[in-house]
Structure 1
Amino acid sequence: MKLSRPVSWFLLAFGVWSWFIWITFVKNLWNDASGLAFDDAGEPTAYFWVHLALAATSFLLGTAIGLIGLRGVRALRREVGAAGTAGSPGSTAGKAGSGGSTSGTPGSAGSAG
């Protein structure tokens, strides 16, 4: 499957956003003084564990989505780079008779006796 440039960049931006948002959320959760995340004895509450699991899951999914976007962006850059060099002088890409044979005899490369 080939991703378009806008979709690839969106997915990559989503992954970066996820790192920023969820790491900030966990820091705030850890430093919570409202009594929701930690009880009076300083022990984590169910609220803490549920939100930590939510943050970890969202962080992992955001990372996976960001990696998909990164792969899409890198593939598009390779494609643009390959298209830019295919038509350059001295390139044999797409030319007739450029089957990789150096002997000058058509059909001699890769033929089995």
Structure 2
Amino acid sequence: MEEQLRILNELSRILHFSTEIAYNSAHLVYKFNPDEQWYSFSAWYEKNHQNYSPNNFDKISNEAQELCKELHNEMQAHTGGDWRKFVLTLNEKGEAKTQFIYDIQSCMDEFKDD
């Protein structure tokens, strides 16, 4: 549990310090499907109903994806949790909220109508 908390804190730190914007909320989403051999990563900030990208997206993307993979492996090893989508949201104070989705993910999810 200590290692999971360390990884979550590091992801929160990366997200929080990858912009100069005083955001209303910050978002990080990592999802993957090992059977189809793909993954997806996104991060953005919201301020006054507008979205902004992080500074140096490639750097944050590479570092955060490795941490997300570590988090998945750590959680699966210790709790058996095999989530396929992870959402990290920070509020304007930098307080974190996490969500783990265990449903199988499709690379077409973003293009489906609700």
Higher RCO (C-alpha 8 Å, min separation 6): 1
TM-score by length of 1: 0.31
Of Structure 1 and Structure 2, the greater strand share is in 2
More helix by share: 1
TM-score normalized by structure 2? 0.31
The structure that has the greater radius of gyration is 1
